[in-house]
């Protein structure tokens, strides 16, 4: 049984401090969807009645993840027209009813890092239209995969079996930030998901990820996504972090 939310609510928002669901049927609540760390939870009940909700969720901002909760088996027939189209909504998760549909459990689910890390982030960037070339998508995927291990573009180019100059030209031709910016952000994103999930001190996580100290990490995070590590820990999810960086880069 889901946590406090009006019985008639089929579409809810969850937002910091993640202690309750908010009925998203009101326009006032939908105004918060542009904020960081928010997500939709959609209880699928009746396809005929929920087609407008489906269309609303289909065009929601890319930074807002969606968790879909399926109906009990005896009500599945009423949802059949929409079941085959759920992939169009790019949900973060599709859950059976009663398993994780409480604010605390949804928060924990949203806190799960992208997996596989590089592929998931690269596909997200392709879906939102940032990456348009399959070759660049593969390059970006590798950057996010390699970020915990490498700290310079020279190292990156070697691992990609190319030269710094060639790599830079590829990104410039695509109208994208230079490879060093991608590498810096990829490292920050890896740190961010650790910060969200682990209670370790910031300086310890920073040093584990190759930063000389927590101060250096904090300054780079502030420059890249506009937020310090202690602030970031108040929010869950990774999509909004990607969007924050893209905004800083003017994309």
Residues 52-72: what's their mean pLDDT?
Answer: 92
Q: Does position 162 have pLDDT exceeding 90, yes or no? A: yes
Q: What percent of the chain has pLDDT over 90?
A: 75
Is residue 11 reached through a cis peptide bond, with omega within 30 degrees of 0 on the bond before it?
no
The predicted pLDDT at position 102 comes to 87
The predicted pLDDT at position 30 comes to 63
Give dist(CA 165, CA 185) in Å, integer.
20
H or E stretch including 13? strand 11-14
Give dist(CA 151, CA 217) in Å, integer.
13
Report which listed range, 30-44, 197-211, 213-227, is most confident.
Answer: 213-227
Q: Does position 9 have pLDDT exceeding 90, yes or no? A: no
Give dist(CA 170, CA 136) in Å, integer.
8
Contact 25, 11 (CB under 8 A): yes
Residues 112-116: what's their mean pLDDT?
Answer: 93
Q: Does position 7 have pLDDT exceeding 50, yes or no? A: no
CA 149 to chain centre: 22
Q: Does position 38 have pLDDT exceeding 90, yes or no? A: yes
Give dist(CA 246, CA 251) in Å, integer.
5
> Phi/psi of residue 41, each to 5°?
-120, 125
Give the sign of the dihedral formed by CA 144, CA 145, CA 147, CA 153: negative
Q: Does position 193 have pLDDT exceeding 50, yes or no? A: yes
Local confidence band at 249 (pLDDT 50, 70, 90 cut-offs): very high
Tell me the DSSP string of 25-58.
TSHHHHGGGGSTT-EEEEE---HHHHHHHHHHHH
Q: The tokens of 45 are what? A: 């009940």
Q: The tokens of 237 are what? A: 């999810």
The predicted pLDDT at position 4 comes to 44
The pLDDT tens digits for 95-113 are: 988 766 789 999 999 999 9
| 167-175 contacts, C-beta under 8 A, 24 or more apart | 167/139, 170/135, 170/136, 170/139, 171/136, 171/139, 174/131, 174/132, 174/133, 174/136
131 versus 200: the higher-pLDDT residue is 131
**Integer CA distances (angstroms), 38 to 1, 223, 246, in order:** 22, 22, 18
The predicted pLDDT at position 35 comes to 81
164 Cβ neighbours under 8 A, 6+ residues apart: 153, 154, 157, 179
Local confidence band at 22 (pLDDT 50, 70, 90 cut-offs): confident
Q: The tokens of 143 are what? A: 């950057």
Q: Does position 206 have pLDDT exceeding 50, yes or no? A: yes
Q: What percent of the chain has pLDDT over 70?
A: 93
Average pLDDT score, the chain: 90
> Phi/psi of residue 9, each to 5°?
-75, 125
Vertex 9 angle, CA 3 and 11, to 5° = 95
The predicted pLDDT at position 101 comes to 73
């Amino acid at each position: 049984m889901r946590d406090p939310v009006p019985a008639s609510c089929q579409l809810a928002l969850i937002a910091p401090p993640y202690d309750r669901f908010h009925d998203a049927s009101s326009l006032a609540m939908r105004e918060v969807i542009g904020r960081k760390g928010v997500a939709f939870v959609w209880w699928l009940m009746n396809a005929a009645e929920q087609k407008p909700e489906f269309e609303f969720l289909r065009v929601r901002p890319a930074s807002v993840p969606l968790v879909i909760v399926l109906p009990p088996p005896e009500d599945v027939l009423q949802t059949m027209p929409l079941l085959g189209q759920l992939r169009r909504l790019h949900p973060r998760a599709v859950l059976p009813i009663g398993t994780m549909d409480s604010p605390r459990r949804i928060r924990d689910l949203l806190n799960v890092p992208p997996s596989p890390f590089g592929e998931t982030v690269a596909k997200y960037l392709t879906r939102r239209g940032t990456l348009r070339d399959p070759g660049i998508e593969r390059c970006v995927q590798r950057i996010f995969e390699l970020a915990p291990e490498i700290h310079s573009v020279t190292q990156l180019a070697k691992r990609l079996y190319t030269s710094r100059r060639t790599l830079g030209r590829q990104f410039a031709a695509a109208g994208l930030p230079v490879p060093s910016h991608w590498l810096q952000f990829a490292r920050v994103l890896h740190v961010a998901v650790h910060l969200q999930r682990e209670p370790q001190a910031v300086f310890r996580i920073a040093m584990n990820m190759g930063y000389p100290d927590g101060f250096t990490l904090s300054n780079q995070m502030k420059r890249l996504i506009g937020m310090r590590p202690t602030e970031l820990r108040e929010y869950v999810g990774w999509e909004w972090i990607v969007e924050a960086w893209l905004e800083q880069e003017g994309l």
